[in-house]
Structure 1
Amino acid sequence: MNHLVFDTSTEVMSVAVRHGERVRAWRGAGGAQASDRLIPCVLELLDELGLRLADLDVIAFGQGPGAFTGLRGACAVAQGLAFGAGKPVLPIGSLLAVAEAARQQTGATQVLAVLDARMNEVYSAVYEYQPSETPGTAGTWQEVSPVRVGPAGALAWPVNAAVSDWTVVGNAFAGYADQMPAPVQAAARVTAVPDAECMLALIPGLLAQGLAVPADQAMPVYVRDKVADTTAERAALAAAKLARA
């Protein structure tokens, strides 16, 4: 079981490699630095474990939603490495990744994942974890509510779900917590961004579902076409914040 996974969808870049039971991981600044650092970091971790790209079973990457440049860069690197090594690619959603982070940190199995989408919006999705009935095999996450983008005030639980049963996870609390509906604010909370080492745990289940694709079919997920505010929109938002202050 030789797996490589990396994520550059947020301000944090992370890379992890599994070789059997051995794991090597790296985390650091993302953003503009990710494009220069990603491939050298991948090669360093592979070397630490005595692996070559040809030894990998799959190359996984964080497909988003998230930062446009980071997603595009991660997908391009995954495709390039996979083409050269003749390996499949496994895209992993950013919101699914933070749901798994919540499970690993707290044991949460019912999760509302919420990530900062900028432009006064958040990405969100709802997941439930289903343990495997076969001992020794990975469980799977089921998507209860699909990935969406919108105002933090529009976040909602699944119908008839008790707040006490659910956990909210992500990185949107600092900027948007006071805008979230009262039930969301009252729920248990885990702060997390997509992390490659956590994402390693998702790979066996996603492979079992047949979600790996040929390199040329790997694509990022943007959710929305508009990826930045205009200058005028940014000025209007700044003025509105000053007015509220």
Structure 2
Amino acid sequence: MPHPSPPRGAAARASHETARLLAFDTSTERMAVALVAPHGAWTADEPGGALASAALLPCVHALLARAGMALADLDAIAFGRGPGAFTGLRTSCAVAQGLAFGLGCPVLPLGSLLIVAEDARIQRAPQDAAFEVDVAMDARMEEVYAGRYRWTEGRWQELAAPALYTLEAFAAMAADGPGAVAGSALAAFGERLGLAPQRARVPTEHERAAALLRLAQAAHAAGEGVDAALALPLYLRDKVALTTREREAVRAARDAAAEAPR
């Protein structure tokens, strides 16, 4: 009769310092993948969007190969749960859930807007004890995904949960708010966001995968791992199943936005 397999994953290596974590996010046009183990960390920032569904797993295996690791070595899998592009969120959640089920390890759901906030913090105030930022990401169709976050006492607080805003509604919420503003909506909509001139702006991300990895490590250290069945996306639009005409309208709006001057 075969002996039971020895414990693996989080049960075998509970220490945060020795955790082996895989993290990825495909909620935007950039795909972020990161890996950390006691002997190092590896990151990849690659084209995402429609490419993510085909590119994510090969990128994961490439990072594992660079680290000399196998999937079975992982203690937990972190993933960007959204908000963001519908197809990208489905890719991230499906891959996280499938891998975690197969490996018997927990998942760490991470807010995709918080990744932008963490990257902005490192760009603007890496040594500051306090930092506040409104994150606004281009959601297309004249809307933004936005949330407000504060860094204090070495951790993030969510001051305003992620929500879908029209440009007018976001301007009313964020025009005179404290702190910086970060995210792709700055380049997409510019002055139409109605921000006060004195507000600091962080329009582009510097190292999304590195920011993702820091959040994954913090979540693991805080014991935020959950069952693989809870690898679920955060959708903010009222409908996710569109009619043919609606899909055509969305496609036309996206094409127009892509061709507009930035």
* Residue aligning to 1:26: 44
CA distance in 1 between counterparts of 2:88 and 2:251 reads 25
Q: Does 1:150 find its partner at 2:165?
A: yes
Equivalent of 1:186, from 176, 181, 198?
198
Cα distance between partner residues in 2 of 1:40 and 1:86? 21
User: Gaps (5+ residues) in structure 1?
Assistant: 132-138
The number of residues matched between the two structures is: 230
2: CA distance, partners of 1:57 / 1:192: 31
| Offset at residue 235 of structure 1 (A) | 9.8
Residue 111 of structure 1 aligns with an amino acid whose one-letter code is V
Secondary structure in 2 matching 1:155: helix
Q: Is the partner of 1:66 in helix, strand or coil?
A: coil
8 Å CA contact 1:54, 1:86 repeated in 2: no
* Offset, 1:144: 0.7
Aligned position for 1:111: 133
**SS of residue paired to 1:62:** strand
Distance in 1 (CA, whole Å) between partners of 2:91 and 2:247 is 25
The correspondence for 1:220, drawn from 221, 225, 233, is: 233
Question: AA paired with 2:67?
Answer: L
Aligned 8 A contact 1:112 1:157 in 2: no
The aligned residue for residue 134 of structure 1 is none
Aligned 8 A contact 2:27 2:88 in 1: yes
Q: 1:218 to 1:235 in 2, by over 3 A?
A: closer
Task: Name the SS for the 1:230 alignment partner.
Answer: helix
Question: 1:114-193, aligned counterparts within 5 Å?
Answer: 114-131=136-153, 139-155=154-170, 165-183=178-196, 185-192=197-204
CA RMSD of aligned residues (A): 2.8
2: CA distance, partners of 1:39 / 1:235: 27
**2: distance between equivalents of 1:115 and 1:169?**
8
- Any conservation in 2 of the 1:7–1:195 contact (CA below 8 Å)? no
| Aligned with 2:67 (options 33, 49, 54) | 49
Deviation at 1:205, TM superposition (A): 2.6
**One-letter code aligned to 2:216:** I
Query: Over residues 7-50 of structure 1, what are the superposed CA-to-partner deviations in whole Å (9 max), with x where a residue is unaligned?
Result: 11111112111112511111221122111111111011011111
Pairing 1:207–2:220 present: yes
Q: Deviations over 1:42-64 (max 9, x none)?
A: 01101111112222121011111
Query: 1:167: how far off?
Result: 0.6
Q: Do 2:113 and 2:146's aligned partners in 1 also have CA atoms closer than 8 Å?
A: yes
Long gaps (5+) in structure 2: 1-18, 258-262
List 4+ stretches of structure 1 deviating above 4 A. Answer: 156-159, 231-238
Q: How does 1:49-88 map to 2 (within 5 A)?
A: 49-88=67-106
Compare 26-35 and 97-106 and name the one that shifted more: 26-35
Amino acid in structure 1 at the alignment position of 2:140: R
Amino acid at match of 1:152: L
Larger deviation, residues 53-62 vs 201-210: 201-210
> Match of 2:158, SS?
strand
Contact 1:121 1:150 in 2 (8 A): yes
